[in-house]
Amino acid sequence: MKYANLILDSDKGMENIGDWAQVFAIENLYKYMHVNYEDVIRIKISELSTYDGEYVILPINYPFYGYYNLSPKIIPVFLGISIIHKSVVKGLRMENFQPVGCRDYHTWKELTDYGLDAYISGCLTIALPKREKDPNQQKTFIVDVSDNVYEKIPSSIKNSAERLSHVYYLDECKGEAGARAIYERYKKEAALVITSRIHCAQPCLAMGIPVIFICEICSFRYDVVRQYIQIYSLEMMDMIDWKPVAPDLEEHKKILLRNAAERVLEVKRRYENVCSIGEFYLKGDPIKKEVDSVWAFQRYISERWTKDEQFSYSIWGITQIAEVIYEWIRNEYPNARLDKVIDIARTDAFHGVQPQKLEGIQQCKSVVFVTAGSANSVAIEVFKKYNISNYVVCYNGMYIVNGVEYSY
């Protein structure tokens, strides 16, 4: 079982280099854990659902604002995520991998209201390494502030500053290498950074660079920044200290990295043997398999009706087999109709058909599929009693069609 990290898709027209900072944060965690990064498997965001390599542990420090599904080969450790709505929980299999680290109060509230074990974790980009002091660190960078904000920045600052953006066409930024180069510039040159970008502010604060954060609209996402520095609105710009001091975050970083490492190692201990066993049984090409009880019903249907033919059928027993049969018929025979449902215990409707007690079998004019194993012996007697000859019963390696036994 190996460790994994995300990689951004290289075929996008544009990218935000802040997304790369979140990937670099997991790389930094692996360095803290003394994991050889050359052995780490990189998984594209777009391939989270289709990844089919060996089982991996994937620490995740990333926002999920779209809909995603996680491959069963990925064991996630949610260290610092942000979401808009709890509808993403199922696809990301969060219920199976708690607790969930949340960057902001909004995410935490969505997940705890859903019933998950969650905590507010911040974002691991704040734990990136601190830089060494250098006399060349004299520059002011103004990164992705609005024109309204830019106009209110004192001329004494902006006249000698360099204005940058974190959003690039891919051929301008050059992907991961280009993102690293931009953060390296901040590390080597910056004396001050003025920005509205979380993943400009956080990596710079982690490096020990003074940051002024100004925004016109205060997003829920900014929760992750406010514990370190003041967040200024356009109306608050008269209050800004234009010569701020970077906060000392080194002790806080240690706590964040220690917690993240402990969570990753705990998940690895829990799943390492499980995944090793799974890998053993997944070797080679899978054989073609049938669910025997289901196969008998499918054979009966396919031998009697064409795909576009209209026919009706009844089900005796609301079971897993009943669900499989119903779904298969609905997909393969769209004009077929479920006529009756017989079940002595259930009272809730089965795909819109209210179940009836045993006496309801007398009115069955359609073929009856007996899908409850416990009803098999009873069913044969009931069919004889009511002179019902159109039925299929499966059990013990045999299936009975209209009173005739077949083996399979």
Q: Mapped to the 3 state alphabet, what secondary structure does the chain carry? A: CEEEEEECCCCCCEEEHHHHHHHHHHHHHHHHCCCCHHHCEEEEHHHCCCCCCCCEEEEECCECCCCCCCCCCEEEEECCEECCCHHHCCCCCHHHCCCEEECCHHHHHHHHHHCCCEEECCCHHHHCCCCCCCCCCCEEEEECCCHHHHHHCCHHHHCCCEEECCEEEHHHHCHHHHHHHHHHHHHHHEEEEEECCHHHHHHHHHHCCCEEEEECCCCHHHHHHHCCCCEEEHHHHHHCCCCCCCCCCHHHHHHHHHHHHHHHHHHHHHHHHHHHHHHHHCCCCCCCCCCHHHHHHHHHHHCCCCCCCCCEEEEECCCHHHHHHHHHHHHHCCCCEEEEEECCCCCCCECCECCECHHHHHHCCCEEEECCHHHHHHHHHHHHHCCCCCEEEEECCEEEECCEEEEC
**pTM of this prediction?**
0.79
Is residue 286 over pLDDT 80? Answer: no
The predicted pLDDT at position 378 comes to 85
Q: Has residue 171 got a pLDDT over 70?
A: no
pLDDT in tens, 54-111: 999 999 999 999 889 999 999 999 999 999 999 999 999 999 999 999 999 999 999 9
The band of 265, judged by pLDDT with boundaries at 50, 70 and 90, is: very high
Write down the pLDDT at residue 349: 94
Residue 401 has pLDDT above 80, yes or no: no
**Arithmetic mean of pLDDT, 288-314:** 84
Identify residue 168 by its one-letter amino acid code.
Y
**Beta-bridge mates of residue 338:** 313
- At 355, is the pLDDT very low, low, confident or very high (cuts 50, 70, 90)? very high
pLDDT at 406: 62
298 within 8 A of 328, measured Cβ to Cβ = yes
CB atoms near residue 239 (< 10 Å)? 9
Higher pLDDT, 240 or 288: 240
The mean pLDDT of 130-147, rounded to a whole number, is 94
Listed as own residue / partner, the contacts of 64-70 with beta carbons closer than 8 Å and 24 or more positions apart are 64/88, 64/92, 67/91, 68/92
% residues pLDDT > 70 (the chain) = 94
Contacts (Cβ under 8 Å, ≥6 apart) of 399? 293, 296, 300, 392, 393, 405, 406, 408
Phi, psi of 120 (to 5 degrees): -85, 120
Mean pLDDT across the chain: 91
Confidence of residue 407 (pLDDT cuts 50, 70, 90): low
What tens digit of pLDDT does each residue of 82-93 get? Answer: 999 999 999 999
Q: Can you tell me the mean pLDDT for 237-242?
A: 95
Q: Percent of the chain having pLDDT more than 90?
A: 69
Q: How would residue 404 be classed by pLDDT, with cut points 50, 70 and 90?
A: low
